[in-house]
Amino acid sequence: MRLRGVGRRYGLGGPWVLRGIDLELAPGSLVRVEGTNGSGKSTLLRLLAGIDAPSAGRITGRPRTAYVPERFPAELPLSARGYLVHLGRIHGLGRTAAERGAGEWLERFGAAGHADTALTELSKGSSQKVAVAQALLGAPGLLVLDEAWTGLDRAARAELDAAVAERVAAGGTVVFVDHDPRRLSGAADTVLRVADARLTPVAAHRPDASGPRPKGPEDDAGPWVAVVTEGPPGTGLPPDLPGAPRHEPLAPGRVGPGPVRLTVGAAHSDALLRALLTAHPPWHIRSVTELPVTAATPPEGP
């Protein structure tokens, strides 16, 4: 997806909220947008989502898109499930797939008990869960989140983080704004700052790194990352994990399956996490730690 010279102003002679924006969004990337209140972040997200048309310039190659607004006071005469099934079908799902997806996403966000509640009777947090579910339901190629975490409880926020990682791992583009600077920190491939109607790239905040870390096999000599992960009972590690990690059981004396510690070159950690999270069935990530360079030992072979 490409933006060329994109600008937006409201009204014919109004001031430019955004101007001269050139941007390319790659599939499988996670993009954070920063800026002060009223700087035009939401306008940028609306342009990306296709809700607003640019007043100048062109946007091309937009994939199937879903959008989550910051507040979702949906005064609609439908139940949560009914609304999600309608939106699922608008996203192009068949009836059965939409019904199954509606149930699954409400369940993931802990709102399955409200499936048949009228939208008008839902609390603010539960409404927000419905808003998030409608966007994830259609597995969109572009997911635009305008402070979508606001109003969600802690478990649902974590679930949304996981869902965003899944979208990115599946090759989708996710663009988000959130007031919490730690939101998905380290995972964002690009950070963009909106100020004075312009868009400037900012170095992504990665822990212990001043700028984006170069990726590639030569980086194997660099720092190591330990990932503690746990699979469903009775399943072995997924084959062909990226970066060929060294693995050791965390509790060697324990009977049966337990957490496994994987050590991998830092450059491969994102890909490794993606592979674990998207395995069938998915693996649960318990912790990710960057090992100090001196303490890390090269793998002795997988």
Partner 1 sequence: MTALLRYQAALLVRSQRWLSPVLLYAAFMGIAVRAGDPVLDSFGYAAAALLPVAAWLVRVCTGTEPAAARTCAAAAAGPARAHLASVLTALLGALALGTVGTLYVALIGDPHTADHRTGIPLGRATAAGLLAALACALLGTAVGALCNRPLLRGPGWAVSATAVTTLLVLVAGASPANAAVSGLVEGSHTGAVPLPLLPLAVTCLAAAGATALACALSSRRT
> Helix 95-108 and helix 80-90: axis angle, to 10°?
130
Q: Does 58 contact partner 1 by CB under 8 A?
A: no
In this structure, the number of other CB atoms found within 10 A of the CB of residue 298 comes to: 11
What is the pattern of x (binds partner 1, CB under 8 A) and - over residues 234-263? Answer: ------------------------------
- Asked if 68 is part of the footprint of partner 1 (rule: CB under 8 A), the reply reads yes
Among 13, 75, 252, 255, interactor with partner 1 by CB under 8 A = 75
| Choice from 40, 69, 223, 231 touching partner 1 (CB under 8 A) | 69
In the set 32, 41, 91, 129, which binds partner 1 (CB under 8 A)?
A: 91
Nearer to partner 1, 2 or 64 (CB): 64
- Per DSSP bridges, beta strands 224-230 and 30-34 are unpaired
Q: What is the DSSP letter of 242?
A: T
Q: Residue 148 and residue 71: Cα distance in Å, rounded?
A: 8
- For 111, left (φ over 0), alpha (ψ -120 to 50), or beta? alpha
With respect to partner 1, which residue has the nearer C-beta, 102 or 275? 102
| Nearer to partner 1 (CB atom), residue 3 or residue 49 | 49
Contacts with partner 1 in 95-134 (CB under 8 A)? 131, 134
Bridge partners for 67 per DSSP = 144
For partner 1, the binding residue among 13, 53, 214, 295 (CB under 8 A) is: 53
Stretch touching partner 1 by CB under 8 A, among 25-33, 82-90, 153-161, 251-259: 82-90
The DSSP bridge partners found for residue 38 are: none
Q: How far is CA 60 from CA 23, 26, 57, in A?
A: 11, 13, 10
Residue choice 19, 46, 81, 129 for contact with partner 1 (CB under 8 A): 46
Distance CA 202, CA 85 (A): 39
Angle between helices 95-108 and 124-137 (to 10 degrees): 140
Q: List interacting residues with partner 1 (CB under 8 A).
A: 46, 49-53, 55, 64-69, 71-78, 82-83, 86-87, 89-92, 131, 134-135, 138, 140, 144
